Structure 1
Amino acid sequence: MKNRKFHFCVILFLSMIPVVASGQKQNTRSHQNFDANWKFSLGNAADAKRDFDYGIGNIFSKSGETAGTCIATDFKDSTWANVRLPHDWVVALPFQYVKNDDIDSHGYKPVGALFPQNSIGWYRKTFTVNKADSGKRYEIQFDGIYRDSKVWLNGYYIGGHSSGYNSFAFDITDFIKFGKSNVMVVRADATQSEGWFYEGAGIYRHAWLNSYNNVHFKTAGGLFAHAEVADGKAQVKIEADIENRGINAAAATLYSYITDRDGKIIAKGKQIPFTEAIRENKLLVDEMTIINPRLWSLDDAYLYRAVSLIKANGQTIDSINVKFGVRTFKFDSEKGFFLNGKPLKVQGVSCHQDHAGVGSALPDELQYYRIRLLKEMGVNAYRTTHNPPTPELLDACDSLGMLVMDETRLLTSGQEYEQQYRDLILRDRNHASIFMWSIGNEEYVTQRTDIGKRIAQNQILLQQQLDPTRTSTYAANMGNVYRGVNEVIPVRGFNYNLLGIDAYHKEHPLQPIIGTEVASTVTTRSIYVKDTVRAYVPDYDVTFPSWASTAETWWKIADARPWFMGGFAWTGFDYRGEPTPYRWPNINSHFGIMDMCGFPKNVYYYYQSWWTDKDILHIAPHWNWKGKEGKPIDVWVNTNADDVELYLNGKSLGKKEMPRNSHLVWTVNYEPGKLVAVAHKKGKVITAKVETTGAPYSIVLSPSKKILTANGEDAVVINASVVDKNGREVPDALNMLHFDIKGDAQIIGVGNGDPSSHEADKCLPGQWQRSLFGGKAQLIVLSGMQAGSFTVVASGAGIKSNQLPIIQK
């Protein structure tokens, strides 16, 4: 009996010593990009034989028994396509007209229950893991798979995930063959849609292979750094969520510190010893102070780094590094929104996540490109409608200085969707750019009810528990209604219905108000006459659906009310699907302030006039109107100048004062030549012109950058236009352009912003082409792996070609 007690004590003592596998080095955590070298094939949602026997092969009856299916490790996938993630298979499908509301709302792409042959996608990847690393834990992380995905490794089912938007991860340690080939298989089922807009399909965001010690920071929310600012100091709280997945209990120490942008340590935490039982999770908290912190702001997006280490036996067995910002938010029901103690009107846009040419599978550079375009317009806030964004979008907003309203997919608190909201907050809460969470959007059935109120209360409490540093709102299209969700939501969100906000504010003076969705002007870039055949609307701020308003209407309301925090215009960019006000042949929305390529429409210059201090003077339309000589043309001028005088071929058409938050209009009888605007702004003279051009003569290529990283992941956006013999851009050119690459790079998508174009976004190698629309087209090029340079070649019938060299390092 005494011996048994002695042995028990020895076992207990030994179990408190953490196991560090031989060969492990300090800082053993890795976050390896897993995008390359996937194989892809369509399956079939209605025919099991064409779906590689999925549904008739009994793959769930015995663990690891998948023989005869494409899940088996020995399956021959040599005929499958080679793809690199992110990958959206829907964007390559042809457009197809079907009289069906769901197909219409998703942009007439043949995917969903009506098209079973296009709605299942299979992915396979073969990889190896060094035998020397067998002491680590391994995890596969997907930042987004659309949709209803299932994952296998070496024939073993790892798990499934229904959401098309949330990131998720699975521990795969038990299923890895160390030192041998491993086969990962993913099935994505896009039969059931989640939204009413283009969603794409496939592994359309990044994938990662994570490895770490058995005692480690959790992947979801493992480190949360946030600060309170007062008296010239930032009190930073660092919360570490540590997990023990080893076979023994563990004793270790947590140590944290903060660095500036350059890596210099500016604050040190305590050495915090801790023990964890087997399978235990423990939350440890440390605090430290930054003296005279540099505040994150729109113009100075400064990010600190919080670094936390887990140490045992004299080694660092895990470490984690997160960026965070020091800033303050205030939401005042009478004075509006404050950033770092200064009032700030929210000049926001709502955006879906797709882009011309690539669908939902955007290279990271495109996220930065789109945010830079928005900032240039004067946008200071971005709403992620209506789903969790890709992490790289938030990285772009963090580093470029853009506030974010981060929105979950659905307003519901069932176990699955509560977990999705939990995962969203844990993943994103370190991002400096996020100033508010959104618990949902326009839930017609639920939002007015007591059930909606209870759901909202649950989600609000969850948010406050996981992230007490921020608040939340809900995008309600309810007008002046204080019922259901609106009874409990901290910040009342208005989707349209702005004529009721004065009464609502008077009746509920303690509830801050923001326009979660406003405007919805519909315009077609470069088109100035309504065209019901081709489904175009004029590129003036005049046309809008019954529920919405012009840009000018909503902004005048917002700017005149200090307590109204501002809002999010619908939308920053056109997006595939939800065609409005027309349907086929229209295949994408007209709501964008910019088109699907990011080319500005005229309403862009209205916002830029009143959302920036830049000298803005813009004339619309262009002045190529052959056949309309002597007929009246409405000429709009957007500017923030004090006055404008318009001249046609040297003759004054009159001078007008510029009302605040408005625009100017002249009706001009057309004659070819030059239309010039001369404006005065605080004593300074500003000029702008449009003029009649000649025929297209040569191609111009304008890259978003001229140097790429040779990693197979970097990208460049190249905009194409044509000029006449005098070098003037031809604004109404429709030429077909052909594109090619000489060197180690590849074109991955083309577009032109035409909302009724049925030309392919994806072309076969050597056959890339796109017609100009309104004188513009766009191609997106992905970098190769070889340093040096490559050349983009553009040509067209009857016009001078162009070659653009791009350096690759």
Structure 2
Amino acid sequence: MKIYCKQIGPQSILCFFILLMSATLSAQEGRLVTSFNGEWLFAKDSIGLKKSIWTKVNIPHSWNKEDVTDDTPGYYRGVGWYKKNITIHPGLKGKKIFLYFEGANQETEVYVNGKKAGRHVGGYTRFCLQIDPFLNFQDGTKNEVLVKVDNKFNEDIPPLSADFTFFGGIYRDVYVVTANPVHFSFNRAANGVFLSTPVVSAKTASVHIRSQLINQSSSWRKLIITNLIKDHKGAVIAKKSIQVRLKAGAEEEYNQQIDAIVNPQLWSPENPYLYTVITQIVDAKTKRVLDLVSNPLGFRWFKFDAASGFYLNGKPYKLIGASRHQDFKAMANALPNAYHVNDIKLLKKMGANFLRVAHYPQDPAVLESCDRLGILTSVEIPIVNAITESEAFYQHCKDMQVEMIRQNYNHPSVILWAYMNEVLLRLKFTDDKPRQQIYFDHITRLAEQLDSLTRKEDPSRYTMISNHGDFKRYKQTRLIEIPMVVGWNLYQGWYSGNIKGFADFLDQHHKEFPEKPVMVTEYGADADPRIHSLTPERFDKSMEYSLDFHEYYLKTIQERPFVAAGMIWNLSDFNSESREETMPHINNKGLLTLDRQPKDLYRFYQSRLLKTPYVKISNWLLRGGLADSTVSRTNTQALKGISDDTEISQLSNTQTSKKPSRVTHNSAALSQDLNSHTSTQPLEVFSNADDVSLFLNGEFLKGAKTPSNRFIWQVPFKNGLNTVEALIKVGGKEYRDVATINFTCIPRVFAKGPVFDQLHVLLGAKRIYIDEDEKAVWLPDQVYQPGGWGHIGGEIFKMKGNARQSYGTDRNIIGTDRDPIYQTQNIGIKKYKLDVPDGDYNLVLHFAELISADVKEALAYNLDNSSQSEKVEERIFDVFINDVPVLQRFSPKEKYGALTAGSEEFKLTITNGKGIEITFKVIKGQPVLNALQLIKN
């Protein structure tokens, strides 16, 4: 029977071999690659292997799937053990057998039958270890493979720190590779064949092929190295062979060149045409194929120009795309290949043409997909934020750079090799300037060595460093000069400064370094998909602020020919355990959510980048807002309480994390009354058409504003379900998108507004929070007006000691996944009034003490921010509802703990038009209230 060997690495499609039915092995063409992913045993043990408890796992695997998202700071960084038995057929004796790891983070030791087979340092490049010297080939004998993986901090291994999580585990595929004694070299886990295209034009092309062979047999071998170039359909268009002699134990490199490939199909994002180069080692005497590898080949030429940007195949070409991290919701970074491939498909579907593989080399499937789909790329090693001044650190950096280049050398999608990211972000020796200068000199020296090493390894591509916005510092350390291309990670209008400073920065670079090509390698603003704002502002985490931010940045990049590229940070949300904010442990700058659901940001870029007709309605589909106007009621009974009891019935006074379930009114009259009110809010439609028609519940709406592919209407939503249809006409054809928006209309004045059903209010906030789990819309608070609802007294909470504009707190609120409910508050509140009609209600008051004695180090990326701390103030207060004491000597901190969510729930019966008045009386400090819910029963 035939066994079809699996693909390994980005370049190798492996050959067939024949396994005889008698279970003996025949002569084998090439190598056999077998998945080694299944049925491992795992133990997480910081004490010792003997005390470990083993559990069954499959590879890919990470031991940090859960502890990086809990409320406990930090996550396990230590040792994990993996073991598995392997039985080797006796017929394989004499073969060379390897274990091939696509990635394990970050120090790995492999033992076979108790003997150490090898070690690898670095969590993001591949490695290959020969294990046949340690195997027992006796029939039926089990060989134990034991792998120790350690992801603890090591000052000699980059990255030292970063805005992403250093997940531990064997998180990429593992293979067993069986090869003949004469084979292509596995050095640095590359496949031993390296392609370059010294001549490329629309009329002709040439291919240079370097082959690294190793002879692990005991005698000289006379060999033939043959190269075949096949087109996309499999037809051979060129062939070349050379005969060589390779002595026993030798490893040699051989060069061949195939010229005069006429009228080559050029590779580009619009036409990612791939040829295939098949390289064989053939025994000259027996004509048997000893080894075979296959590599992709793309003919393209490119250059960066400091004045006019990037050129591909002789034409100016603006690069627009995103960076990407490799984790996924509930899976850490242990992803099957299909997940990696899907990310590249999503990038392509957006209309992008570039991927910054950041901040480390990723799964082979990523660049394979970029080759196939037509996405240009840069790849980098993880020197992030800082370095360690040790020879071991320098050597590990160089090893990673060489491994990255050799393992990914043959991808036509790769145009840049990078090696530092924001390396001056976390400065050392700030109190010792002479010592700090020595540190800077060491960074410069390392950059020079890595740049020189990269140009030697691959003269055909460009080198790059990505810097943050400290222009003066990077200029002084020469990190702008050293690489061939400089990248800037810029966040003016987010982490620091004013948004207009982005354009000023780019112009300053071009003025001072007119001969240095430049890319914007990062830009973005947090966009929590649950948060919206009608008055967006910096740090509110709203989708609307992020849209405005991206619109300005993209326009600025596209207007400047000297800016070669703009890389959005990031393709998707990703895990960053040290972050807290509205969605703790997640960086929300993605165009997609952590589970790859498109945000409106993704739709915006589709409208700007796609060439085919495109129209899409905003995905803000669960909404709420204040009623525009009043109508006379037709069903006054619906507003009237059913009980004459004037007392407050306090059925519960306990901490809870759940609100009462929503009550649905089934009365037809009540439904008609609810629907007679509207609430006007902006609605966005994203399109690349010149004009968009919008219909609300079948009626045409006029008056759209059109800032840069964002068509915005002021839409009068009715209470309940609203059908919205957007229509464009292009080339005589119609294209449309339809969405259903569920809108809750809230009265401004209860006696004149829609029938009141429920109210969810965020105090101290201007943003709207969409609670999809509870199907609730939390609205910003307002000042009380007679007949309506709102607060009396107090002020918006702001963190003190923050140089940046503060929006509530960005600390993690313990005990809840709905942090935005608790991260803002009214401090010093005197009363809260709701002039509701008579009836039965559930009232929930939400509290959290936002001041903590625990000092949190500010994110290094908040460039004008310092450590977050504030004087802890003891607060004790009483709470009365309609003069009835319900909370006495109440302290949120004492009851729940600092930065911890707590709720107090009350069942109320209101009669005689009294409404609800919540009074806060000071005993010590200032009273607070974070949020409020009122549900009519």
TM-score category (smaller protein): 0.7 to 0.9
- Counterpart AA for 2:76: V
Verify: 1:636 aligned to 2:684, yes or no: yes
Aligned residue number for residue 28 of structure 1? 30
Aligned residue number for residue 97 of structure 1? 71
Aligned residue number for residue 133 of structure 2? 174
Relative distance call for 1:290 and 1:758 in structure 2 (3 A) is farther
Contact 1:405 1:436 in 2 (8 A): yes
Partners in 1 of 2:606 and 2:82 — Cα distance?
Answer: 44
- Counterpart AA for 1:410: I
Aligned residue number for residue 374 of structure 1? 347
Instruction: Give 1:363 shift.
Output: 0.7
Aligned residue number for residue 62 of structure 2? 88
Aligned residue number for residue 209 of structure 1? 176
Partners in 2 of 1:34 and 1:755 — Cα distance?
Answer: 42
Please give the residue correspondences for 1:254-265 in structure 2 after superposition, counting only pairs within 5 Å.
254-265=225-236
Contact 1:257 1:269 in 2 (8 A): yes
Aligned residue number for residue 464 of structure 1? 455
Verify: 1:514 aligned to 2:475, yes or no: no
Partners in 1 of 2:585 and 2:535 — Cα distance?
Answer: 15
Please give the residue correspondences for 1:12-411 in structure 2 after superposition, counting only pairs within 5 Å.
25-44=27-46, 47-48=47-48, 51-52=49-50, 80-93=54-67, 95-98=69-72, 100=73, 103=74, 110-112=75-77, 119-179=78-138, 180-192=141-153, 194=159, 195-219=162-186, 220-221=189-190, 222-227=192-197, 228-230=199-201, 232-276=203-247, 278-312=249-283, 313-314=285-286, 315-410=288-383
Contact 1:619 1:690 in 2 (8 A): yes
Please give the residue correspondences for 1:488-499 in structure 2 after superposition, counting only pairs within 5 Å.
488-496=482-490, 498=502, 499=504
Please give the residue correspondences for 1:568-717 in structure 2 after superposition, counting only pairs within 5 Å.
568-577=567-576, 582-583=580-581, 586-620=584-618, 622=620, 624-625=622-623, 628-630=626-628, 631-644=679-692, 646-649=694-697, 653-656=701-704, 658-659=706-707, 661=708, 663-672=710-719, 673-679=722-728, 687-693=736-742
Partners in 1 of 2:532 and 2:508 — Cα distance?
Answer: 37
Comparing 268-277 with 586-595, greater Cα deviation is found at 268-277
Contact 2:219 2:248 in 1 (8 A): yes
Verify: 1:436 aligned to 2:416, yes or no: yes
Contact 1:305 1:323 in 2 (8 A): yes
- Counterpart AA for 1:586: P
Partners in 1 of 2:296 and 2:623 — Cα distance?
Answer: 53
Contact 1:480 1:503 in 2 (8 A): no
Instruction: Give 1:93 shift.
Output: 4.3
- Counterpart AA for 2:185: K
SS at match of 2:589: coil
Aligned residue number for residue 734 of structure 1? 773
- Counterpart AA for 2:163: W
Instruction: Give 1:250 shift.
Output: 3.7
* Identity rate, percent: 27
Please list the CA deviations of residues 323-364 of structure 1 after superposition, one character each: whole Å capped at 9, or x if unmatched.
Answer: 222222221222211222222211110111001132211111
Partners in 2 of 1:32 and 1:530 — Cα distance?
Answer: 56
Partners in 2 of 1:693 and 1:198 — Cα distance?
Answer: 37
Q: 1:415 aligns with which of 389, 395, 398?
A: 395
Instruction: Give 1:262 shift.
Output: 3.6
Aligned residue number for residue 527 of structure 1? 531
- Counterpart AA for 2:627: E
Verify: 1:501 aligned to 2:501, yes or no: no
SS at match of 1:394: helix
Instruction: Give 1:610 shift.
Output: 0.8
Please list the CA deviations of residues 541-560 of structure 1 after superposition, one character each: whole Å capped at 9, or x if unmatched.
Answer: 448xxxxx821121011111
Please list the CA deviations of residues 540-596 of structure 1 after superposition, one character each: whole Å capped at 9, or x if unmatched.
Answer: 2448xxxxx82112101111112211221000100112676x537623111111101
Q: Which runs of 5+ in 2 are unaligned?
A: 1-23, 388-392, 429-436, 493-501, 629-678, 745-769, 776-811, 818-937
SS at match of 1:376: helix
- Counterpart AA for 1:488: I
Relative distance call for 1:289 and 1:185 in structure 2 (3 A) is farther
Contact 1:530 1:537 in 2 (8 A): no
Aligned residue number for residue 930 of structure 2? none
Relative distance call for 1:316 and 1:525 in structure 2 (3 A) is same
Comparing 641-650 with 360-369, greater Cα deviation is found at 641-650
Aligned residue number for residue 804 of structure 1? none
Aligned residue number for residue 18 of structure 1? none
Instruction: Give 1:94 shift.
Output: 7.5
Relative distance call for 1:28 and 1:681 in structure 2 (3 A) is closer
Partners in 1 of 2:711 and 2:144 — Cα distance?
Answer: 63
Contact 2:353 2:376 in 1 (8 A): yes
Instruction: Give 1:211 shift.
Output: 2.0
Partners in 2 of 1:616 and 1:231 — Cα distance?
Answer: 32
Relative distance call for 1:160 and 1:656 in structure 2 (3 A) is same
Please list the CA deviations of residues 233-284 of structure 1 after superposition, one character each: whole Å capped at 9, or x if unmatched.
Answer: 1101111011233334444232222122343221111323233353443343
Instruction: Give 1:158 shift.
Output: 1.4
Relative distance call for 1:670 and 1:138 in structure 2 (3 A) is same
Please list the CA deviations of residues 667-717 of structure 1 after superposition, one character each: whole Å capped at 9, or x if unmatched.
Answer: 44542334444556677665444434599xxxxxxxxxxxxxxxxxxxxxx
Instruction: Give 1:152 shift.
Output: 0.2
Please list the CA deviations of residues 42-70 of structure 1 after superposition, one character each: whole Å capped at 9, or x if unmatched.
Answer: 212xx33xx426xxxxxxxxxxxxxxxx8
SS at match of 1:550: helix
Instruction: Give 1:632 shift.
Output: 4.3
Relative distance call for 1:758 and 1:597 in structure 2 (3 A) is farther
Partners in 2 of 1:358 and 1:755 — Cα distance?
Answer: 23
Contact 1:35 1:207 in 2 (8 A): yes
Aligned residue number for residue 479 of structure 2? 485
Partners in 2 of 1:154 and 1:147 — Cα distance?
Answer: 23
Partners in 2 of 1:159 and 1:326 — Cα distance?
Answer: 38
TM-score computed with the length of structure 1 as normaliser: 0.72
Contact 1:43 1:52 in 2 (8 A): no
Instruction: Give 1:96 shift.
Output: 2.9
Please list the CA deviations of residues 345-398 of structure 1 after superposition, one character each: whole Å capped at 9, or x if unmatched.
Answer: 111101110011322111111112111111111121111111111111111212
- Counterpart AA for 1:327: R
Partners in 2 of 1:620 and 1:330 — Cα distance?
Answer: 38
SS at match of 1:299: coil
Instruction: Give 1:424 shift.
Output: 0.8
Partners in 2 of 1:286 and 1:85 — Cα distance?
Answer: 40
Please list the CA deviations of residues 422-452 of structure 1 after superposition, one character each: whole Å capped at 9, or x if unmatched.
Answer: 0110000111221211112110149994433
Relative distance call for 1:640 and 1:23 in structure 2 (3 A) is closer
SS at match of 1:540: helix
Partners in 2 of 1:360 and 1:316 — Cα distance?
Answer: 38
Partners in 2 of 1:440 and 1:566 — Cα distance?
Answer: 18
Instruction: Give 1:217 shift.
Output: 0.9
Q: Which runs of 5+ in 1 are unaligned?
A: 1-21, 54-69, 71-78, 104-109, 113-118, 544-548, 696-730, 737-753, 760-809
Partners in 2 of 1:321 and 1:648 — Cα distance?
Answer: 56
Comparing 470-479 with 147-156, greater Cα deviation is found at 470-479
Relative distance call for 1:264 and 1:95 in structure 2 (3 A) is same
- Counterpart AA for 1:212: A
Please list the CA deviations of residues 56-97 of structure 1 after superposition, one character each: whole Å capped at 9, or x if unmatched.
Answer: xxxxxxxxxxxxxx8xxxxxxxx7322221112211447432
Instruction: Give 1:733 shift.
Output: 5.0
SS at match of 2:411: coil
TM-score computed with the length of structure 2 as normaliser: 0.63
